[in-house]
Amino acid sequence: MGFTSLQFVFFLPIVFGLYWTIPVRWRNILLLAASYYFYMTWDYRFGALLFATTFIDWILGLQIEKTSSVKRKKLFVALSLITNLGCLAAFKYTAFLYNTFEWTRSEINGMQPHYMEALIIPIGLSFYVFHSLSYIIDISRGKIKAETNFGTFALFVSFFPQLVAGPIARFGDLGVQFREERKWNTEQFLSGCRLVLWGYFKKIVIADRLATIVNPVFENPETYNGLTLLIAGVFFTVQVYCDFSGYSDIATGIARFFGYELKLNWRRPLLSKSLHEFWGRNHISMTSWFRDYLYISLGGSRVTYPRWLLNLFLVFLISGLWHGASWTFVIWGALHGIVYIIEIVLKDKIRIPFGGWIYLFLFHSLALIAFRAENYNDLKTIYHHIFSFQWSAEISYVELTGIADRLPVLLSIAGILSLFAFELREEHRWLSSLPKMQTLWRPLFYTILFVSIFTLGEFSANVFIYFHF
Amino acid sequence: MKRVLIYALLAIALTYAIREVLYIGIRKNAGGEFDKLNTAFIKENKYDILIIGSSRAECQFFPPIIDSATGLHSYNIGMTGAVMPFIAASLEAYLENSAPPKYVILNLDLHSLGDATDTVYKFPRYFAYLNNSALYNGLSQCDSRFPAFRWISLYSMPYFGTKYLSNSMHGWMNIPTEYDAEYEQGFAPCKTDTRMQQPDSVQFITTHAVLSPEIKNAIERINNICIAHNMKLILTVSPLFHLQEKSAVSYEISKQELNQYAAENKIPWIDLGHDSIRFRSEFYGDPAHLNKQGALIFTRHFCSVLKQYLNP
């Protein structure tokens, strides 16, 4: 059951209605049951894994707090790392590692490689593993107290709005909210509604519409002109942003329906003017997770200059691998790492034209092609077609309208423009500063959003991209 | 909160209004696919011969040839993807606004036989025509979601999609689509599939031809409608591509059963299933449909037999 499924249309109002009518002491239990039900609609077996890892981390968290021995603390943290990362490695990286080994062996011995099929990854595994790990590490660092109530901790890990695709919550931010009674707040509910609407608009009207053009191009990249591939790359940049930030908006909005606040996950990253700025605005919960638990563990910036740059590069590489068990994701991470380091080295030495926006957008789009390519060979083909510069606008027009007719292409472009108009408005606050427009504009804007979702939306079954991670 | 509820209701009302505007646009199409549906479900017609069936009827019977061969006026309301119960419903829906034709030609083939599905192929294209009660009832029997499609705009709109939005815009602007010119009196040609250049390499799926009670009832219903409206029903079997025919199980038995039914009810039976065209891959658009050239040849063959069943 995803946020765009018909089941969810029934699920959410039922849970919402029950939550605000039952006695306060039952509310967390209801949310926990609803979250497990939500999760187990994909596969009931995944629920057992979620429960097992949650229970182990809850016990380990209590043990870490109880013990005064540093050695024992480290042992418990290591146990949690082994459990969580072990699950992640077993489901997500076994096939990747085995196939890489097989390929290397075949290259050396000249023997036929025997590749294995990728295992089915429990949905949202990468996200809830990060929830649990941050909890354990924060306890060991003395930042938070261990949760004594298993239900509260289990709800923190499994809270359905953010369970399968984030934002990656910290116990200090979200978990503690489950300890307190939530009071009905109309303004919070309305702001939740606005976020949900905007999230659905981004997902259904912009991202899924763009997917109808992007997917066919990336399925057969060898048949397309370099310019078409570049346009598809640019479209994918907007698609993946609208898809994921749309999910985060819906998740945050739904959490507000129940009186909870999730941390801001996106701050208009496509308006960034450098990669440095981009990573301060893009997928903030993941970026800050890697910063706090990986980058700092590697020594952060309190090391020699070359080691610091290496640390940064490693974080990007591992972040790429976290997104997907494939060399194309590693390449994506490496590209970001290299350019991030170049930006640091060249800081104040060169001036990027056009305020850096075009540079950032083009680099991000080209790098994301590695993120989207089906495999390494496709990626090579795409980059070869793009960088051979044998582009033809006429052929691209024929190719794009051949995929999706003229109207979907026009709607896609209109969707991109509306996204940038909205984000520029938010960034510069020029329209909101007009007091008369505020009262007239807001209800009208959200009414138009609602109607657009149903009139212009693309509902032909595109799950959220980040479910795959 | 009160204001929010008012805006929510306003937004919902707006979706109903927009939906109606889109449907009007669909019905304004003066050519192509939607003109055919207008003819079938809205317009008042006086055709002499009506061809009914699934996509094989739609793309294999060319009415202009039938007209010139018989001197009568014919129209083809073969509906792509239609199963037998829906074919019966489409005939009833046609009769809701039009005068009964003298002859109804029902095309039968391998794909008409077998289990009916619980969804209607390309169902959103019928949304603009649900005021036709016979069509609505027929579709609702085939697909239980149709009452919701008719009455709940928030449920039907997501299925409508860009294709139909585009068709509606074409209707409002009175600009034909690039495919409109291909339609002639309800006939729509099957586009040529590249697989037919090397038919031997095509993987044919084994298809079971079963004359289920549901199909028998639907044929019986069509016969009863014809009797009630004093229309002469003619059953016809069109040729399957020979390799496709080989993959069919129980096809001959089912055809014999249908032939027997026709004989018992004194319904003319035109079996062109063994027409030699079935060995000519160049006349097939895909393994299940003749292309336009094949359709013209087949319609001539069909007319030469049809004449004997027409009243002087």
**What integer best gives the mean pLDDT of chain B?**
88
Question: Is this structure's pTM higher than 0.90?
Answer: no
Per-residue pLDDT, averaged over B249-278, amounts to 87
Q: Are A450 and B169 inside 8 Å of each other by CB?
A: no
Mutate which of A212, A451, A453 to test chain B, going by most B C-beta atoms within 10 A? A451
Query: Any chain A CB within 8 A of the CB of B296?
Result: no
Q: What is the pLDDT of residue A428?
A: 79
Using a pLDDT cut of 90, give the percent of chain A over it: 39
Domain segments of chain B as ranges: 45-143+180-309
Could you read off the pLDDT of B172-207 as tens digits, one per residue? 998 888 788 889 999 999 887 777 777 777 777 777
Using a pLDDT cut of 70, give the percent of chain A over it: 93
Q: What was the ipTM of the complex prediction? A: 0.71
Q: What is the pLDDT of residue A468?
A: 56
Whether the predicted pLDDT of A466 surpasses 80: no
Could you read off the pLDDT of A281-306 as tens digits, one per residue? 999 999 999 999 999 888 888 889 88
Q: Report the SS3 class of residue B183.
A: coil
Residues of A with CB under 8 A from a CB of B: 186, 190, 193, 209, 404-405, 407-408, 411, 443, 446-447, 450-451, 454-460
Choose from A292-301, A456-465, B129-138 the range with maximum mean pLDDT: B129-138
Mutate which of B16, B122, B162 to test chain A, going by most A C-beta atoms within 10 A? B162
Three-state SS sequence of chain A: CCCCCHHHHHHHHHHHHHHHHCCHHHHHHHHHHHHHHHHHCCCHHHHHHHHHHHHHHHHHHHHHHHCCCHHHHHHHHHHHHHHHHHHHHHHHHHHHHHHHHHHHHHHHHCCCCCCCCCCCCCCCHHHHHHHHHHHHHHHHCCCCCCCCCHHHHHHHHHCHHHHCCCCCCCCCCCHHHHHCCCCCCHHHHHHHHHHHHHHHHHHHHHHHHHHHHHHHHHHCHHHCCHHHHHHHHHHHHHHHHHHHHHHHHHHHHHHHHCCCCCCCCCCCHHHCCCHHHHHHHCCHHHHHHHHHHHHCCCCCCCCCHHHHHHHHHHHHHHHHHHHCCCHHHHHHHHHHHHHHHHHHHCCCCCCCHHHHHHHHHHHHHHHHHHHHCCCHHHHHHHHHHHHCCCCCHHHHHHHHHHHHCHHHHHHHHHHHHHHHHHHHHHHHCCCCCCHHHHHHHHHHHHHHHHHHHHHHCCCCCCCCHHHHC
Choose from A138-142, A402-406, B118-122 the range with maximum mean pLDDT: A138-142
Could you read off the pLDDT of B19-51 as tens digits, one per residue? 999 999 999 999 899 999 999 999 999 999 999
Closest-CA distance, A162 to chain B, in angstroms, reads 25
**Domain range B45-143+180-309, its CATH number among 3.40.640.10, 2.30.30.190, 3.40.50.1110, 3.40.50.1820:** 3.40.50.1110
- Residues of chain A in contact with residue B161, where contact means CB-CB under 8 angstroms, are 458-460
Q: Are B158 and A193 inside 8 Å of each other by CB?
A: no
Per-residue pLDDT, averaged over A105-132, amounts to 82
Q: Are B161 and A459 inside 8 Å of each other by CB?
A: yes
Could you read off the pLDDT of A432-460 as tens digits, one per residue? 565 555 666 777 888 888 888 888 888 77
Q: What is the pLDDT of residue A422?
A: 84
Closest-CA distance, A146 to chain B, in angstroms, reads 39
Closest-CA distance, B86 to chain A, in angstroms, reads 25
The region of weakest confidence among A326-330, A338-342, B108-112, B160-164 is B108-112
Contact B106, B50 (CB under 8 A): no
- Residues of chain B in contact with residue A407, where contact means CB-CB under 8 angstroms, are 162, 165-166, 169
